[in-house]
Amino acid sequence: MQLIDKITSREAKIGVIGLGYVGLPLVVEFCKAGFKVIGFDIDPEKVSLLKLGKSYIKHIDISPLYENDSLFTPTSDFAGLSEMDCIIICVPTPLNKHREPYMSYVFNTTRTIANYLRREQLIVLESTTYPGTTDEDVRKILEETGLKAGEDFYLAFSPEREDPNNKDFSISNIPKIVGGYTTKCLHVAKTLYDCIVVKIIPVSSTKVAEAAKLLENIYRAVNIALVNELKILFDRMGIDIWEVIEAAKTKPFGFHAFYPGPGLGGHCIPIDPFYLTWKAREYDVPTRLIELAGEINTNMPYYVVNKTVGALNERGKSIKGSNILILGIAYKKDVDDTRESASFRLMELLEEKGAVVDYNDPYFPQTPRMRKYKISKESIPLTKENLSKYDCVIIVTDHSSYDAHFIAQNAALIIDTRNLIGKAGIVSEKVVKA
């Protein structure tokens, strides 16, 4: 096949649509492998920064993109798609306000590709979605051009497996699942990813690949919901859930540790389960366990607020008018990523009750632009004087830069949702685990 030869000889031109946490690392890996890559994004600010050689995602090293200036071009002009041999879609798949899949980014991107679609092109969707998206919805849009998938062009799904700031795993050494619309489509897509990934896991269809990604994240969501529910029960019983987990994980088989928190964050776990529960309705199959897990995890910010209200009341203070400092707005430690972070929901709930809320996060001098929340605040310096002036400090993200002893010494009241203080071996009456 002509396209196979172009891929193996590194003559194929790669187009990556969506230069975020998924697309940008892909661009880096393909450039490192010697491919010419055009990165497409509708955000002109991202394109401008990349043209200046600047990364807007701190943990992603983009220096390989500029070791050979002729390999990478960022652009907002999608007309260049007609010149691409392989096009990879890495756009967001969020939920709408009813927790249903919001597929406009994927479908509008596909319609744009259709405007420039030609024979011997490979189209790969990497955005997490429900089974059937690739070979039903995306294929239908592309075939409206008169070209047929598997005959005139190739179509595949390969889910991203991204863990921001993980020092041990990156795109190149994480096994990559690939499913094709036909065996020929699978062969072409596998050939492409073989150039940048150490191990490819081919599966029988795009639906299997889509379902595998959902299973990975639903597995995590359900188990996190379990420990979140047990956290509430054990707290009522006077048992420390963190100590229980540490004891249980000493079992060398049959147990994998999951940890409670203030609510789910990140681009996958809070969202992906609802893609499957939505699709399951089409088949009249209830997904009660998944939906219950979603309900438990979604309610965690409310639990944290209630613990905060109770702790303040015990100290003779009302939540209304209290000054509260949230530590960490990133969804996980040591990353500059706020996607679906529980911090913003906590801010809303606390302010609805009349609290005055500030935050500190070493990765965010200001709250970033977000689709869901309209919050504009600046990070408060974490000094002795600042800590001591707040009625309550809520630890939402356990960044490595947070000194547990310093916080415990200077804060009047600490609501610890990550066991940061406990892990440091500090026992204090002013620490409330939530």
Specify the pLDDT at position 269: 81
The string of pLDDT tens digits covering residues 95-149 is: 888 889 999 999 999 999 999 999 999 999 999 999 999 999 999 999 999 999 9
Give the phi and the psi of residue 336 in degrees, each rounded to 5: -100, 65
The string of pLDDT tens digits covering residues 337-386 is: 898 899 999 999 999 999 999 999 999 999 988 777 888 899 999 999 99
Whether pLDDT at 186 is above 80:
yes
Specify the pLDDT at position 1: 65
**Could you identify the residue written with the tokens 């679906």?**
340
Mean pLDDT of the chain: 94
Instruction: For CATH 3.40.50.720, list the domain ranges present in the chain.
Output: 2-201, 299-434
Provide the CATH topology of domain 2-201. Rossmann fold (3.40.50)
| Whole-number CA gyration radius for the chain | 24
Provide the CATH topology of domain 299-434. Rossmann fold (3.40.50)
Give the chain's count of helices (H) and strands (E).
15, 13
Q: How far apart are CA 127 and CA 22, in angstroms?
A: 9
Task: Count the neighbouring beta carbons within 10 Å of the beta carbon of residue 31.
Answer: 22
Whether pLDDT at 389 is above 80:
yes
User: Taking Cα atoms as reference points, which of 286, 399, 276, 274 lies closest to residue 336?
Assistant: 399
Q: What are the residues whose beta carbons fall under 8 Å from the beta carbon of 183, sequence distance 6 or more? A: none
The string of pLDDT tens digits covering residues 303-325 is: 999 999 999 999 999 999 999 99
Q: Is the dihedral of CA 271, 273, 275, 277 positive or negative?
A: negative
Q: What are the residues whose beta carbons fall under 8 Å from the beta carbon of 200, sequence distance 6 or more? A: 175, 176, 178, 190, 193, 194
Which residues are identified as catalytic?
Answer: 268
Indicate the pLDDT class of residue 203, thresholds 50, 70 and 90.
Answer: very high
Q: How far apart are CA 78 and CA 282, in angstroms?
A: 34
DSSP, residue by residue, 74-138: EES-GGGGGG-SEEEE-----B-TTS-B--HHHHHHHHHHHHH--TT-EEEE-S---TTIIIIII
As given in the structure block, the two tokens for residue 253 are: 């088989």
Q: Is the dihedral of CA 213, 214, 215, 220 positive or negative?
A: positive
CA distances from 130 to 73, 144, 199 (A): 31, 22, 24
Beta strands in 221-283 (DSSP E): none
Q: pTM score > 0.75 for this model?
A: yes
Amino acid at 422: G
**pLDDT mean over 256-261:** 96
For the chain, the residue count is: 434
Task: Count the neighbouring beta carbons within 10 Å of the beta carbon of residue 235.
Answer: 17
